[in-house]
Chain A
């Protein structure tokens, strides 16, 4: 994280405008953007979805989708040469050699039918000006794979992408990008699709290689925590324009523009929104004992079936009025836990009791009665609503099934839609007319229509932009206080958990490894995994999370 003191920029973007085809909803993806990247510095380009940050990076390398063009007035200067004026052959010489790029989705960024070694070697073969032999190329590949921290490089070289995890694939991508010692690295949200601990490793890796090779890095992200951790300078974008830029400290500590201020304020975990539990009864509202679930999948005639342990004897109690966050990475079993409580998935063994009554193994009538008291909100706002059902009907169905008349139910639905901030007129519209954040609000209204006591939110804000996320969390906190709800909030983001819960439960590989109040957990983590998770939280040092004990 050295401050840049070179006056000649490595990359200088001047008045970049990216024109969208006329059928789009706006004319420009990016409008008159100017930014510089010096040698040996990390510039973070921050914005929400639709800000044009990704397009900017693609434009530098000439990788824009068909029919999307760069305006003639734009200039992209790499050490003096204007990239927008180069022909295709010259651009190809540059790509992967002077400028490299790493993309967001490691799962799809590698050719599934080709071995890793072949794909990494290709980066060298395409720029083999030194005339290296095949053996020499293979040696360099193994060396670089080792340098990015992958164990057993010789084996990795012979593997296929499907045999590697997401984090490993991203390391391979970085290896491919570094092979020819580029001067500039473009990283388009390289850690967004990764688990938080893996994200930390990849961020560390990028910082390390940047420092070693003194590269310039343009790092695109939506997460200010990441910005706080790695940026030298920050550029904030919104709707295709630059809103603010400056050094990291300048922008983060003294943001000038209202939008930047709002984004920084929306970083989760900075204020406590939790309310103490009402503590009405001593008996827990939800009691889970020794819950077990293993998924078995056949994988061919002669291979042993693959088993995934989603729940390995989970014990959990939630008091009435509490908000409990269940935190874990992918594969921890947190989502499965939520679905088992809803009885969308049946556990293999164990007991669940709600308000003293057993939940599992009950007949249809008891299940119906139970379902009325527990509701769930899902992660994907675009899959959570029936595209062919009006929003009002979707909300009213629940009460109607339990005996309400259609008019009553629709009236109640209208009131709920109003309460969640969408206005009663939304009742007659279809889901596709709403944005992601608005759809989540509709899902919340649907869940509340049955007046449940327990609300399960399964990564309900994870798919939303950070500012929308903040609004929805605020809404949930309000509703919880108003209606006296109990909440089980499932998330992978410790910061979100810190913000809204009274109690945080940490899960790893189907087991609960620690539980405690947020302040306690942060200050004094007991379990090694909790410490790892905390350490991996982006922006931890900078933002100094203060949470109610």
Chain B
């Protein structure tokens, strides 16, 4: 564990990502301090350009503070990203572990079921679910989790299948270990690294999906999220480029940071010679 942390601290791009990510998290936590009040409130004249009248990043068509919207939107993105990924991880690891460990027909059918989910256009399914069940944080989290778990399941199944046949697992069987003990003590700890990496990348993808949903008007109507801000700015590209520019940069930086951290973790946890 300590060795992992030390290696990560020496990984340049991973550390860059971590620094940016920490800044994002700090922004999320301190949003009500630096940007008190509701981001939905009108605080300035509409279409105020950035750096004018005390508006750091300008104001939108209804005179709302863009900077405030971005700060508060940080919470939304992080919260939805992390929650949906956690749910996806739980479902994915359980299905994948079962499929990989039990194997045989059960395993194959579970795999077919997982593949089915990968055949359908994921974003379309999200749209459908959120539209029909009505847009809310709960439904968005469910929708994103539902399209994210198959990848985790495939990965977990692959790891379990490979590890199950590894000699040290066979030796443990000969020592009398029970199946549950085999999974928990021997297989899972060795399968965790790729799962952790997949999880971190899934958070990034969840944030992207959530912003796309909000862009299409399917975000939770009570939450000011980055995607919604860009969606609201769509028709005003000519007049007010800042309305869509800054929220997009926020998404880009956050997702980039998470990807850098995820890949740094991958390099540190699964060192391979080919990474030159």
Scan B258-276; emit 1 where CB is below 8 A from any A CB, else 0: 0000000000000000001
Would you call A344 and B176 a contact (CB within 8 A)?
A: no
Which has the most chain A C-beta neighbours within 10 Å: B166, B171, B186? B171
A315 beta carbon closer than 8 Å to chain B? no
Contact of A385 among B168, B174, B175, B276 (CB under 8 A): B168
- Residues in B with CB closer than 8 Å to A443 are 171
Would you call A397 and B172 a contact (CB within 8 A)?
A: yes
Residue ranges of B at the interface with A (Cβ–Cβ < 8 Å):
166-177, 185-186, 189-190, 276
Given A386-B186, A386-B190, A387-B190, A376 and B175 touching (CB < 8 A)?
A: no
Which has the most chain A C-beta neighbours within 10 Å: B167, B172, B173, B185? B167
Query: Would you give 14 A-B contacts (Cβ < 8 Å), ordered by A?
Result: A339-B170, A342-B174, A344-B174, A376-B170, A376-B171, A378-B167, A379-B167, A383-B166, A384-B171, A386-B172, A389-B185, A389-B186, A401-B176, A446-B175
In the assembled complex, the CB of A354 is this many whole angstroms from the nearest CB of chain B, namely 14
Which has the most chain A C-beta neighbours within 10 Å: B173, B176, B185? B176
Residue ranges of A at the interface with B (Cβ–Cβ < 8 Å):
66, 339, 342, 344, 368, 371-372, 374-376, 378-380, 383-389, 394, 397-398, 401-402, 443, 446, 450
- Residues in B with CB closer than 8 Å to A371 are 174-176
- Residues in B with CB closer than 8 Å to A398 are 175-176
Main secondary structure of the interface of B (DSSP, over half): helix
- Residues in A with CB closer than 8 Å to B185 are 386, 389
Given A387-B190, A388-B190, A389-B185, A376 and B174 touching (CB < 8 A)?
A: yes
Cα–Cα distance between A443 and B170 once the two chains are bound (Å): 12
Cα–Cα distance between A446 and B166 once the two chains are bound (Å): 16
In the assembled complex, the CB of A457 is this many whole angstroms from the nearest CB of chain B, namely 13
In the complex, what residue of chain A is closest to B181 when comparing beta carbons?
A401
In the complex, what residue of chain B is closest to A388 when comparing beta carbons?
B189
- Residues in B with CB closer than 8 Å to A368 are 176
Cα–Cα distance between A387 and B185 once the two chains are bound (Å): 11
Cα–Cα distance between A378 and B175 once the two chains are bound (Å): 14
Would you call B177 and A384 a contact (CB within 8 A)?
A: no
Contact of B168 among A386, A401, A450 (CB under 8 A): A386
- Residues in B with CB closer than 8 Å to A394 are 168
Cα–Cα distance between A388 and B192 once the two chains are bound (Å): 11
Cα–Cα distance between A445 and B177 once the two chains are bound (Å): 17
In the assembled complex, the CB of B87 is this many whole angstroms from the nearest CB of chain A, namely 27
- Residues in A with CB closer than 8 Å to B166 are 383
In the complex, what residue of chain A is closest to B186 when comparing beta carbons?
A386
Would you call B177 and A344 a contact (CB within 8 A)?
A: no
- Residues in A with CB closer than 8 Å to B190 are 386-388
Would you call A397 and B175 a contact (CB within 8 A)?
A: yes
In the complex, what residue of chain A is closest to B178 when comparing beta carbons?
A401
Cα–Cα distance between A398 and B168 once the two chains are bound (Å): 13
Cα–Cα distance between A225 and B127 once the two chains are bound (Å): 70
Would you call B171 and A446 a contact (CB within 8 A)?
A: yes
Would you call A378 and B189 a contact (CB within 8 A)?
A: no
- Residues in B with CB closer than 8 Å to A386 are 168-169, 172, 185-186, 189-190
In the assembled complex, the CB of A459 is this many whole angstroms from the nearest CB of chain B, namely 11
Cα–Cα distance between A446 and B176 once the two chains are bound (Å): 12
- Residues in A with CB closer than 8 Å to B174 are 342, 344, 371, 374-376
Cα–Cα distance between A379 and B168 once the two chains are bound (Å): 11
Cα–Cα distance between A386 and B189 once the two chains are bound (Å): 9
Would you call A401 and B171 a contact (CB within 8 A)?
A: no
Contact of A402 among B168, B170, B176 (CB under 8 A): B176
Would you call B170 and A401 a contact (CB within 8 A)?
A: no
- Residues in A with CB closer than 8 Å to B168 are 383-386, 394
In the assembled complex, the CB of B177 is this many whole angstroms from the nearest CB of chain A, namely 7
Cα–Cα distance between A398 and B171 once the two chains are bound (Å): 10
Cα–Cα distance between A371 and B171 once the two chains are bound (Å): 11
4 smallest beta-carbon distances between A and B, as pairs = A398-B175, A378-B167, A401-B176, A383-B167
In the complex, what residue of chain B is closest to A368 when comparing beta carbons?
B176
- Residues in B with CB closer than 8 Å to A378 are 167, 170-171
Cα–Cα distance between A379 and B167 once the two chains are bound (Å): 9
Cα–Cα distance between A169 and B87 once the two chains are bound (Å): 50
Cα–Cα distance between A342 and B190 once the two chains are bound (Å): 24
In the assembled complex, the CB of B183 is this many whole angstroms from the nearest CB of chain A, namely 13
Cα–Cα distance between A342 and B168 once the two chains are bound (Å): 14
